[in-house]
Structure 1
C-alpha cells in the first residue's frame, strides 16, 4: 500500500464513520463533536485531557466540542475537586436537547452498504479490528 492508497482508505473510513455515528437530536452535529459526546457518555467525569487522549482530537477541538455540547445541554462541566485547574465533563442529568448517548452503534450497516459483496463483511470487520488494535493507542483509562 502506498501513501495515496492509505490516504484514500483513511478518507473512506472517515466518511463511513460519519454515516455510522448516531445523529443525536434535532441538530446534526459533526461526527467529531458526536465522538466527544460518546466518549463523555462512556467515561463520565473525565478531564478534557483524558477525552483528548482517548479521541485523538486536538485539545482545542475537544474544548470547543464540549462548549458546544454544554450550550445544547448535553453535558455539564465542573472543576475537579482534586485539582481546580482541571475541568471534569459528564453527561447532563436530563436529556433536554435529545442528545443523550449510551454508546455508539456498531458500524455494520454503513460497512454493509460500502462493501461490494455482503459476504465480505466479516472479513472487512476483522481487518478493521486488527488495524484498530495495532494502530490506535490503547485506552489510557484502562
Structure 2
C-alpha cells in the first residue's frame, strides 16, 4: 500500500466513522466534537490530556470541543482536587436526555453498506480491530 492509498483509506474510514457515530440529539455538533463527548462519557473525570491521548486529537482541539460541549450543556468541568492545575471533565448530570450518549454501538450496518461483498464483514471487522490495536496508543492504566 502506498501513501496515497493509505490516505484514501483513512479518509474513507473517517467518513464511515462519522456516519456510524450517534447524532446525540444535535446534528450541529461535528463528529470530532461528538468523539470527545463519547470519550468523556466513557471516561468521566478525565483531563484534557487524557482525552487527547485516547482520541488522537490535539489538546487544542479537545479544549475547544470541551468549551463547545459546556456551552451545549453536555459536559461540566472542575479543577482536579489532587492537582489544581488540571481540569477534569465529566458528563453533565443535568443534561437533557437527548444529549445522553449511548456508546459502544457497533458500526456493522455502516460497514455493510460500504462493502462490495457483505460476506467480507467478519474479515474487515478483524482487520480494523487489528489496525486499531497496532496503530493506536494503548489504553492508560486507569482505563
Which residue does the alignment assign to 1:58?
58
After TM superposition, give the deviation of residue 97 of structure 1 in Å: 6.8
Normalising by the residue count of structure 2, what TM-score does the alignment of the two structures yield?
Answer: 0.95
Which residue does the alignment assign to 2:111?
111
Following TM superposition, the consecutive aligned residue runs of length 4 or more in structure 1 with deviations greater than 4 angstroms are none
Q: Structure 1: 5+ residue runs without aligned partners?
A: none
Matches within 5 A, 1:93-104: 93-96=93-96, 98-104=98-104
Structure 2 CA distance for partners of 1:97 and 1:59, relative to 1, 3 Å: farther
Q: Structure 2: 5+ residue runs without aligned partners?
A: none
Normalising by the residue count of structure 1, what TM-score does the alignment of the two structures yield?
Answer: 0.95
Matches within 5 A, 1:1-142: 1-96=1-96, 98-140=98-140, 141-142=142-143
Of 39-48 and 132-141, deviating more is 132-141
User: Is the 1:40–1:46 contact (alpha carbons within 8 Å) kept by the matching residues of 2?
Assistant: yes
After TM superposition, give the deviation of residue 28 of structure 1 in Å: 3.2
**1:69-121 Cα shifts (integer Å, max 9, x gaps):** 01111000001111111100000002227211131421111100000111111
Question: Greater relative contact order (Cα 8 A, min sep 6): structure 1 or 2?
Answer: 1
Structure 2 CA distance for partners of 1:66 and 1:97, relative to 1, 3 Å: farther
User: Is the 2:16–2:111 contact (alpha carbons within 8 Å) kept by the matching residues of 1?
Assistant: yes
What is the rounded CA distance, in whole Å, between the counterparts of 1:81 and 1:102 in structure 2?
Answer: 29
What is the rounded CA distance, in whole Å, between the counterparts of 2:13 and 2:124 in structure 1?
Answer: 12
- For residue 89 of structure 2, give the secondary structure of its aligned residue in structure 1: strand
